[in-house]
Amino acid sequence: MPRVRELRPETQDDWWEVEALYDLCFAPGREALSSYRLRDGIAPVRGLSLVARDAGGILGGAIRFWPVRIGAHDALLLGPVAVHPTRQGEGLGGLLIRESLERARAQGWARVMLVGDAPYYGRFGFTRLDSVEMPPPTNPDRVLGISLVPGAWDKVAGKVTRAEPEP
């Protein structure tokens, strides 16, 4: 069981600390990935982007979600999710994913997608989205999705595009 004292929505005050965690956990140039083009200028979805802190208030992990579109359909783009190297192996990443998916379902979202490793994300219910195309250069085998309501990905096909920023 992860040592988490606090699992709560990310706030403006958390932003730079979360960014530093992502810089620590991911390769340089992470912002050049195609998924970042879908996020540029768009705020993460309020209430779903979570931070996990231990009893000392130290950031152990974070997860973010972004609104996207596939044709006429809304979806959430999960990512990045990161766990501090000193906290890996405790189940914190799984806790962040499961809790945030439950919150997304409670907010009324129907579908979530990501670009990631099928063996890891498959244990949470993610499967390959053969009809959904991320901007290049994205390996189609890594485009995964989960339905938060039955059949949410049925008949959803096409290119993933940016959601319009809120005014």
Min mean pLDDT across 26-35, 53-62, 74-83, 108-117 is at: 26-35
pLDDT (tens digit, 9 = 90+) per residue, 45-88? 989 999 999 988 999 999 999 999 999 999 999 989 999 999 99
How far apart are alpha carbons 143 and 163 in whole angstroms?
A: 18
Q: Which two tokens stand for residue 14?
A: 């958390």
Q: Which two tokens stand for residue 115?
A: 């670009």
The CATH T-level fold of domain 6-162 is Aminopeptidase (3.40.630)
Give the domain ranges of the chain.
6-162
Parallel, antiparallel or unpaired: strands 50-53 and 59-70: antiparallel
pLDDT (tens digit, 9 = 90+) per residue, 120-154? 999 999 999 999 999 888 889 999 999 999 999 99
- Predicted local distance difference test score (pLDDT) of residue 31: 55
- pLDDT above 80: residue 40: no
Global pTM value: 0.90
With beta carbons less than 8 A apart as the criterion, state whether 160 and 38 touch: yes
Q: What is the pLDDT averaged over residues 30-34?
A: 56
> pLDDT confidence of 117, banded at 50, 70, 90?
very high
Residue whose C-alpha is closest to residue 58's, from 99, 136, 6, 110: 6
With beta carbons less than 8 A apart as the criterion, state whether 161 and 71 touch: no
**What kind and span of H or E run contains 78?**
strand 73-83
